[in-house]
Copies of this chain bind each other. A is one copy, B any other.
Amino acid sequence: MTFQVRILKELLFMFDTSRRASPFDLTMAHDAGFDAVIPYDNVTPRDAASLTQDAMFSRSPKAFKHTCIFINGRDVKKAEDTLAAVKKAMFPPFETNIVIDPSGAYTTAVALVAKVEDAMNAHGLGGLTGKKYAVFGTGPVGITVAEILTSLDCVVTVAEPNPMLNSDYLLQHEAFRGVLERHGAYLHGVSAPTQAEKTKILKEADVVFTVAARGVRIIEKDIIDKLKATKLLVDTNAVAPLGIEGLELNDYMKELAPGIYGIGALVIGDLKYKLQKEILKEAYETQTKKVYDYKYALVKAREMLQEAAEQTIAQKQK
C-alpha cells in the first residue's frame, strides 16, 4: 500500500495491569476509531513510566498528541498507581490524552450514580446529597461508586455479601486505603453475608446498589417489603438470578413496593456502554492532554442525560 496518502495514525497504547489485555476494552478502542491499538499486559507503575517515555520520544510533541494512553485492569488501586506513574513520566510539551477505566468499573460506577441522580430528579426525590447509600459489593464497581459518593459528601456503607470475603478481608482491602488516601475519608465497610446483616444495612439506606458477582441474588422480595426509608434499589447483575428479586433487566423506576423504586441492570449497562464509547471517541478525536477519569466521566454522563432529557421535552412539545 505504498501510494496511500500519509496521514498521522491515531495510536492507542493500552496499559493493562491484569494478566491479559481485555477484549472488551480492545474492541471499544478499535470501534472508537484508533488505527492501531497496542496492548501491554501485567503493567506495573514502573513499567508504565518507562513505556510512556519510550512512546513520548518517538514522535514530535505535536504528533505525540495523536498517541493516546488507556489504563485498565481489574485492580483500581493498581490502575490509579499506574496513572500516577504515567502522568509523572510526561512533561511539557510531551503530553497527551490518558483514559483510565479499570475493568470498565469507572464508567459503570458513574453510570450508576448519574442514572440515580437523573431518576431521582425526574421523580421528585431530590438530589444525591443528604441521602444515605448502601453499596453491596466491594469489587472495582462498588468501591468506585462509594468513592464518587464520598467525594460528593454523601454517607456510604459498603457491604460485602460474599461470606468468603469477611471483615478481615475488608480491613486489608487496598481499595479502602486508596479512598482514604485520595479523599481523607474512611469508607465504612462491613461484612454482610446473612439476611439479618443485610436487612440492618438496607433499613438505614435511602438508595441501594447491588454490584456484587454475576448471577448472585442479593436482596429478596420479603426484605424489600419491610423497608421504610429506602426509595431506590439499583442492580448491575445481568445474569440470572438477578441481584434484586422482582426487578427485571430493563425496568426503569418500577415500583417494587409502595414508594420503593427499582432500576434494572440493562438500563445501567446501556448508559455505561454509551459513556465509555463517548469517552474513547473524544480521546480519539481531540488532541489534548486530558485525563479521562471517573470525574470526567461523571461530567460527561450528566451532560448526556441532560441532553436526552431536553430531547424528550422537545419531542413532547412538538
The interface of chain A, by Cβ under 8 A from chain B, is 1-2, 4, 6-11, 13, 20, 22-28, 30-31, 33, 35-40, 47, 51-52, 54-55, 57-59, 63, 67, 284-285
A23 touches B13 (CB 8 A): yes
The answer on a CB contact under 8 Å between B2 and A285 is yes
A contacts with B: majority SS: mixed
B27 and A59 contacting across the interface, CB-CB below 8 Å: yes
Q: Are A24 and B57 closer than 8 Å at their CB atoms? A: yes
CB distance from A239 to the nearest CB of B (A): 10
Identical subunits present: 3
Q: How far is the CA of A7 from the CA of B40 in the complex (A)?
A: 26
* Neighbour of A51 across the interface among B8, B23, B52, CB < 8 A: B23
Ranked 3 nearest A-B pairs via Cβ: A23-B55, A27-B58, A24-B58
Q: How long is the Cα–Cα vector from A23 to B36 in the complex, in angstroms?
A: 12
Q: Give the residue name and chain of the B residue nearest to A39 (CB).
A: B38
Which of A20, A23, A67 has most B Cβ within 10 Å?
A: A23
12 A-B pairs (CB sep. < 8 Å): A1-B8, A1-B33, A1-B35, A23-B51, A23-B52, A23-B54, A23-B58, A24-B55, A26-B38, A27-B55, A27-B67, A38-B39
Q: How far is the CA of A37 from the CA of B13 in the complex (A)?
A: 13
List the B side residues contacting A24 at CB < 8 Å: 54-55, 57-58
Judging by beta carbons under 8 Å apart, are B54 and A22 in contact?
A: yes
- In Å, the complex CA distance between A227 and B67 comes to 45
CB pair A9 B1 closer than 8 Å: yes
Residues of B within 8 A of A4 (CB): 33
